[in-house]
Every structure is written in C-alpha cells, then in structure tokens.
Structure 1
Amino acid sequence: MSQPNAQPLQIKVAVLREAGAPLQIENATLGAPAPNEVRVRVVATGVCHTDMVVRDQLFPTPLPIILGHEGSGVIEAVGSAVTTVAPGDHVVMTYMSCGLCLPCETGHPAHCSHMHPLNFGGGRIDGSTSSCSCGDEHPIHDHFFGQSSFSTYAMANERNVVKVSKEAPLELLGPLGCGIQTGAGSVLNALNVEAGSSFVAFGAGAVGLAAVMAARVAGATTIIAVDVTPSRLELALKLGATHVINSREEDPVQRVHAITGGGANYSLECSGRAEVLRQAIDSITILGTCGIVGATKMGTEVSFNINDVMIPGKRIMGIVQGDVVANAFIPKLVDLYLQGRFPFDKLCHFYQFDEINQAMADSESGITIKPILRMPATQA
C-alpha cells in the first residue's frame, strides 16, 4: 500500500558539478522510494575525507553528483518491500552492499563484490537515480554510498540504514556510519586488538582518534598516536593514548620501537600517504599486523622491504569500513557513547548546511577534526 508521504518532493542538495569546484546548494526533486528503499529526513550529516577525495575526483564518480555519506535522520517513507524499519525510526545511514555476493554472505559486506558501483557509481546498481534538478528535470547522480546525504532528504536502501536508540543525540550520530565506524571497527573487529597489546595509529584525524578510543575500549595497554599537529596529539592523550609522537620532530618508527621494546603488535595507517604506510609496516613487531584504511589516489603504490615483512611474519591487511556488519556494530558504538566510554563527540564541530564548503576547508586545514552539517529546520 502506498503512503501519502511517499510521493516525490522538493529538497535542497549540495551538488558537485566540476572536479575540485565548490559544492553548490540547489533545489532538486527527490522521487518516491523503490520497493526496497527508504526516504530519510536528514537531521545532520558528517563531512568525511572521502567526500573531498571524490570532490577532487581522485576517486572518479560521474558528475554532477550529490555527495555525503555520514547521514543521520528520521525515516519518513518506506517502499512496499521494506520490513525491518518503519516511518519514525531514527537511523544512521552507512555504506551500501549487495547482500548476495560471497563476501556479503560470509559476513564481510564492507568488502562486497559490488562495492564500487553501489557506493561510487552515482546511482542504483541498475544505473537509475532518485534526484533531478528543479526546472529542467535533468537527473543528478546520487546514491553515493547508498545515500547522498548532502541533502535535506536522502534515499537509502533498507540494507544501509541502521536503527538507533532515540535516547542518543541523532544529530551527532552520522559519522558512526563511516569515519568513526572505520577507525573503531578496524581495532575492535578487523584487527581484533586484544587486551594487554600495543597499538599505534598513524594519523590522528577522525579515523585515527576513533581507533585510539577503540583501542582503549579493547584494553590495549600501550596506545600510540602519530601525527604532525600538536593539538590533535594533545586530544589523543585525553582520549586514551598512552604516548604520542610528532613525526615532524622525531622518527616515528624508531620511537615506536623504543616505546614498545621492539615494535607494536598492531598499527593502523589512517593518513592515506604511501610514505606513512611504509612507517606503519616498519613499526610493527614479529607477527604484528598493519591495517590500511587511509584513502589514496587510485593507482598509488608503496614499497617495503620484503624480507623485513616475510621473515618476522608481519601481516598487511586492507580494511574497508572496519570490516563491520554495520547493523550490529553501530548500535554497540552508540551504547559505548551513552556509557561515556567512547566520547567521539569531542572530535565534532557543527556547521550549517550552507557552510558546507567552509566545513570542508576547515577539515582539510586541520582546524576541525570531524565537521557535521546541520540541516535547515525548514526542509524544502
């Protein structure tokens, strides 16, 4: 049965029309949900490094496109086949997966065989979109990470919305769908950092600091943050780091080995820089594991000493979204936050929707660790 509020409606969106250009706030029309889709009134959305990587087309997507992939909001309409969520539910939107390929079926949807077309293809898997410009009705590419949340309303799939407690502050929760989930999930799920171990995060942005907080939750006893910004290193100490290293002032590999007495059990490369990945690999100990989450330009390569990896049995692991099943993992992060054990709010600063380009600039300059855009109270 169709719902009265499931009809097309007028929305405001931030559109990328040219590589590297500022995003433009425009009016658009959003269609009705497909049978397996939900329409979400976006309350707020995080700004992620990946949004800027795509803005600059280091990860190519079709243009024009509505970016944004850390949205939180309230479901207002659902398609006829949706069974797990309903209008009125508070949700966090996360990455999209197909649910049918081998990685999805074996509990690794973040490594879905269709990850690129579903998250970077600019539409649904069949190429269709939900959004079009007002006036000329030209289609605008959307479904970025299955949501395109730089918008007052977003069209998502039942698979990539996560119902969350109404006790939690909804406007704060969007970053749990990507950046915070990636850092925390890498530690608690992919790397499976255990109590008493040593861990080092290379890069103390949102992902790296989420990893630091998660390492504390996991019970790691030596937690090291590496960065070049003193204020971020100071915050890392407040969030659970036992040591910090300014890599502009000292060799991080030598310092990690000195702190740990031979290398860390786990390292996580969060900066997206090839030379830093080499440091993350060199900083781990015998049978240590280095995880890679930093987004780099397509085709980026890195060199390392093969014998220094092979002989000590080091492991190098690529990680997407913390390799988590978001429906199970995000509610756990919400619970940890409500208990005061995962204070990711200390990374966040709010901006109004029309300040989106300033939010991106502040993120790139290091002024803000995790920008969150508040959507206007009037939703059209």
Structure 2
Amino acid sequence: MKTRAAILEQLNTPLVIEEVELDDPKGKEVLVKLVATGVCHSDLHCIKGDLATQPPIVLGHEGAGIVEKVGKDVTEVQPGDRVLVTVAPHCGKCPACIMGVPTSCETDPQTAMLMGTMADGTKRLRRKNGDELNHFMAQSSFAEYAVVEESATVKVREDAPLDVVCLLGCGASTGIGAVINKARVKAGSSVAVFGCGGVGLATIMAAKLVGAHPIFAVDLLDSKLEVARELGATNLVNASKDEPVMRIAAECGGGVDYSFEAIGNTEAMTQAFHSVYPRPGGMALVLGLAPIGATFSIEAWRFMREVTITGCVMGSIRPKIDIPRYVDLFMAGKLPLDKLVSAHYSLDKINDAIKDTFDGKVVRAVIAF
C-alpha cells in the first residue's frame, strides 16, 4: 500500500515527506493507521547520529492508532482495536523476557536498532523505485501507516485520547516505570531528577504519585523547572546557576535516597550518583540515552557505603500489564500526562516539531494525523 512518511535522508538534515510503499504485515505483525505519535529525544539522537541505525530511515516510535490489518499468526489484536505501539518489541523466549523484563529483550530490539529492520531482519518500507528504507525500533511511526510487531502493541481503552497516551510508548513509561518498577520508591523517600524533559517530568509525576518527599528537579531552563513544580517537584535547582550536588546535599541532609538521570548527559550521570546520600539502599538510576561509546566517572568510595547505580530501559515495565494501568491512572487524574503535551503538529510540520524539541520550546511535541 502507499503511505506518506517523513524520511531522514542524511544525518543532521530536515526530514523529507514522501509517498512510499508499505508491505502487508507478515505472520505476527500488525498494520496500524496512526492517529498520533510523539516526538521523542531518541528520534533526535538518531538524527544527530548518536545511534547505530543509519539513514535513509523513517523515524518515530511512540505511535498510537487503529489496527487495520493483522498477519495470519496474530492472536492478541484485531482490526478496529485502538492500540498504543511501544518501543519494545520482544520475543518472549530469551532470558530477559523469561525473567519478566521484556523491555530488555535480547533479540528483537537489538535487531531493530542495529539493522533498521523488523524483528525477522527484513524491511517493509520501500521507495517508489524499489529502494528499501530503514525502520526505527521496528515501528517507524512518522508516517500515516506503520507495520509493527504484535508484541509491541498494547490495547487502549476506548475513552483514552490517543494523542496523549501515545507518550506511554516510550518516554512517559520510562519515567513512571523507573520510579514504580525499578527503584520502587517508597512514600516519604527523597528523590532528585536530573533533566526536566518528557522522561524527567514523567519521573517527577510518578514520584509524587507514590508519595516521595522532597522531590528535587534539576535543569538548565527555568521554564522547564516551573513545569516540574506544577507536576510535583518541591525543590528546583537551575544547574546553570548552582552546583546541583552541593545544593541537594545542603537542602536534603547530605543527599537523596533516589536519583534519576533523564537526559543522556554523562556529566549529569556523575552528578546524579553523587547526589545520593551514601548509605545502604541509596540508588541512582540512569534513564537517559548517551551517545554510543560515551563514558563517565564516579567516586569509587561510595560503593563502600553500598550505594547502587543501575540502568533502566523503558522503566523496566511489562507493557501489556503496566501501560493499561498508567492509562487508567491518567484517566482518573492521578498521572497528568496531558500536561506534558505542549503542542500538536501535522506530519507536514514535523520539522517544526523537531526544531522546537531541539530548542527546548516544548516539553513534548505530538504529531497528529
């Protein structure tokens, strides 16, 4: 079938809108007519060349829409279903999947990221001249239609606005799940969040939800810090004016119980770890995606105090269980995901959405079809 898609032709260049060919879904794949998709910083990382997937490529990995067609082996969704498409297709068979952490699947995401293909190693997108286009995270939702893995789909209740809950396909679930699933933050615990973009703000709203206090928000922009305050942050730190580790230590008795790095900045990763009070149980979590090969330094003596630093992919969630719960919490007014959406853009205006995201003019941009 024919569909319009936004193509990254070369690194660090505007996307080009073009009519392309999209093959039918294979055995365990699903054709989705997109209603909305978020513009995530992972898309921007790909544009900048920080990731392995190469152009020409159709980006987008926070899609939501209506199922139009399913492959012959699909059993969990059917045409007409409203679905959210996650960044985490998974095989269900590898050690990580069997352990109950499908977001760290050892086969499907690696194939999708490294090869720019679907999970089976082949592609569904082609130009009119027959040249294949790379996929992004086996989704490529910067297009009117997308063929995706059944494992990446999550059915969504009928009354949930797809142009808001699409954010749960990656960024919002990363922050929420990091607090609830990975760190398991307890009520009354102190928290610091480095970076007040979409992931960081979702982390803050989840920290408020579970009863954390105080909640420190760290960013370079006062405008984003004010949004963080609206979503639950109690202490604001502008890292362009104050050294955040010292400021947090001064205001929180030496450090916090939990810190979250939500930028992908190696200096912030060091600061996040050093902001944790050095006692057993203290934990720093790295949520941000740094460029491949990037490294950072931390003070080794802190490990003698049994402080932990760990990574967390998409909040370590179980998508088909946790995302419907997050949607219910949003609909009940407990998780104000709608406050993350600063603006909607058409597919034709996608470069404006990307620029505004790069420039920090929006918290989250959403492409609406």
Q: Match of 1:155?
A: 147
Query: What code does the residue aligned with 2:183 have?
Result: L
**Structure 1 CA distance for aligned equivalents of residues 150 and 297 of structure 2:** 41
Query: What code does the residue aligned with 2:133 have?
Result: I
Instruction: Report if the CA contact (8 A) 1:133-1:139 is conserved.
Output: yes
Superposed displacement of residue 120, structure 1? 4.3
SS in 2 for 1:124: coil
**Structure 2 CA distance for aligned equivalents of residues 27 and 374 of structure 1:** 18
**2:227 pairs with 1:235:** yes
In the superposition, the TM-score normalised over structure 1's length comes to 0.94
Query: What code does the residue aligned with 1:102 have?
Result: P
Q: How does 1:75-86 map to 2 (within 5 A)?
A: 75-86=67-78
Q: Match of 1:123?
A: 117
Identity level (%): 39
**2:207 pairs with 1:215:** yes
Q: Match of 2:287?
A: 293
Q: How does 1:1-380 map to 2 (within 5 A)?
A: 9-94=1-86, 95-114=88-107, 115-134=109-128, 136-142=129-135, 144-285=136-277, 286-287=279-280, 288-307=282-301, 309-348=302-341, 349-375=343-369
Instruction: Report if the CA contact (8 A) 1:120-1:145 is conserved.
Output: no
Query: What code does the residue aligned with 1:299 have?
Result: G
Query: What code does the residue aligned with 2:304 have?
Result: I
Stretches of 4+ aligned residues off by more than 6 angstroms = none
Instruction: Report if the CA contact (8 A) 2:37-2:166 is conserved.
Output: yes
**Structure 1 CA distance for aligned equivalents of residues 322 and 38 of structure 2:** 18
In the superposition, the TM-score normalised over structure 2's length comes to 0.97
SS in 2 for 1:253: helix
Superposed displacement of residue 126, structure 1? 3.4
Instruction: Report if the CA contact (8 A) 2:67-2:78 is conserved.
Output: yes
Instruction: Report if the CA contact (8 A) 2:165-2:337 is conserved.
Output: no
**Structure 2 CA distance for aligned equivalents of residues 367 and 56 of structure 1:** 19
CA RMSD of aligned residues (A): 1.1
Tell me the matched-pair count: 364
**Structure 2 CA distance for aligned equivalents of residues 154 and 173 of structure 1:** 18
Deviations 1:225-267 (A, max 9, x none): 1001111111111111111111111111111112221211100
Instruction: Report if the CA contact (8 A) 1:97-1:118 is conserved.
Output: no
**Structure 2 CA distance for aligned equivalents of residues 361 and 80 of structure 1:** 40
Q: Which sections of structure 2, spanning at least 5 residues, go unmatched?
A: none
SS in 2 for 1:139: coil
Deviations 1:168-192 (A, max 9, x none): 1112221110010111111111111
SS in 1 for 2:305: coil
Query: What code does the residue aligned with 1:260 have?
Result: C
